[in-house]
Amino acid sequence: MKLIQASEDLLKEHYIDLKDRPFFAGLVKYMQSGPVVAMVWEGLNVVKTGRVMLGETNPVDSKPGTIRGDFCIQVDRNIIHGSNFVESAEKEIGLWIQPEELVDYKSCAKNWIYGKKKKKKELDL
């Protein structure tokens, strides 16, 4: 996780798939209006789970308890972005966070959350 004031070039690259949409210039300008927090999440089905936590792209369609449902009121002033596929997440992570900025560690809670993988010998019992 890091706080960053995104450059126009970074934002244009991040949202390149929207470059032909009429709201593109406004989106880039809005995203440059203040710092953003770039984060990398990991875990089982993290992209799908993350999208559920964020809520629908249009905040009006978002459920209460989601980030967009609780903190957004209009789609062009959304407060959070989440990758929609693992492949797009990998690309976006590469834009926002350098490999040396990533911290690789094993959480002490990992086995409690995911359980221990059983050895083949244990599975045969």
Per the annotation, the verdict on 81 as an active-site residue is: yes
**pLDDT on residue 122:** 47
Residue of 53, 81, 91, 96 with catalytic role: 81
Paired with 77 in beta bridges are none
Paired with 4 in beta bridges are 36
Query: 111 in helix, strand or coil?
Result: helix
pLDDT digits (tens, 9 = 90+) for 39-69: 999 888 999 999 999 999 999 999 999 999 9
**pLDDT on residue 125:** 41
